[in-house]
Structure 1
Amino acid sequence: MNKLLKLVLASVMVLAVSTTVASADVAKGQKLYLKKLKGSCNMNGAKMATLHSQGEWETFKEEGKLADELKKICPKAPSKALDSKYLEHYYDFFHEYANDSGNVPSC
């Protein structure tokens, strides 16, 4: 019984760690912003993220309008920079450093 309990506990720990690794990443979103959007937006990541609250960023993502909002803020942004594979990472970055989060990025 003791071995079974340890096995179950170890399985739960591995599962918890693996789901965290599989999600999008705030640091990756920051790097992508610096590489793909900063030049066309003419503002640093801190200013960009604080244009909206966490709830507003979340609403854009849920409604599928994050790319539209980014295009509105940065009309010179290339379409490749707003590809769907990057949006999850941008969202994580903007949500983490939104104007009501209390966090400040280093970019």
Structure 2
Amino acid sequence: MTKLAKIALAASLTLGVLTTTASADAVKGQKLFSKKLKNPCGMTGAKFAAQHSQDQWEEIKNAGKFEDEIIKICPKVKKGYVQESWMEHIYDFSYEYANDSGNVPSC
């Protein structure tokens, strides 16, 4: 194979691996929402994620108020219930299925 073909093949494999990894977080976030937050929130994951647009979710996360927003949307959830290890996954889920994303989760 030529050098260019090898580089193109390596790039496409890397892109494929990165794409799979990026979507895994949203899937894990969906599972966490279904297991831990669906009942306390009293709504589906689709309705939860659709509370904001992707830009709004990003602003909330960057401001460090993601847990506060979960509590605001789901009053039965108390401060400290959402573990730090869940936050990134639930954020990825919320961002992936925000009201302007065009995606609809299955939970």
Instruction: Specify the TM-score bucket, using the shorter chain as the normaliser.
Output: 0.7 to 0.9
* Number of the residue aligned with 1:54: 54
Q: Residue in 1 aligned with 2:13? A: 14
Q: Distance in 2 between matches of 1:22 and 1:101?
A: 19
What is the root-mean-square deviation in Å for CA atoms of aligned residues?
2.0
Matched residue type, 1:10: L
Q: TM-score, normalised by structure 2?
A: 0.79
Q: Which has the higher mean CA deviation after the structures are superposed, 21-30 or 90-99?
A: 21-30
* Superposed displacement of residue 66, structure 1: 1.0
Q: What letter matches 2:12 in structure 1?
A: M
Alignment gaps of 5+ in structure 1: none
Q: Structure 1: how far apart are the matches of 2:15 and 2:67?
A: 30
Letter in 1 for 2:25: D
Q: TM-score, with normalisation over the residues of structure 1? A: 0.79
**Count of matched residue positions in the alignment of Structure 1 and Structure 2:** 105
Deviates more, 1:38-47 or 1:92-101: 92-101
User: What's the offset of the Cα at 1:33?
Assistant: 0.4
Cα separation, 1, equivalents of 2:4 and 2:50: 46
Matches within 5 A, 1:1-107: 2-23=1-22, 24-77=24-77, 79-80=80-81, 82-107=82-107
Separation of aligned partners in 2, 1:70 and 1:93: 13
Give the share of equivalent positions with the same residue, in percent: 49
CA distance in 1, matches of 2:3, 2:55: 43
Distance 2:50 2:18 in 1: 28
Letter of the 1:68 partner, please give it: D
SS of residue paired to 2:2: helix
- After TM superposition, the structure 1 stretch with the greater mean CA deviation from structure 2, 88-97 or 16-25, is 16-25
Secondary structure of the 1:25 match is helix
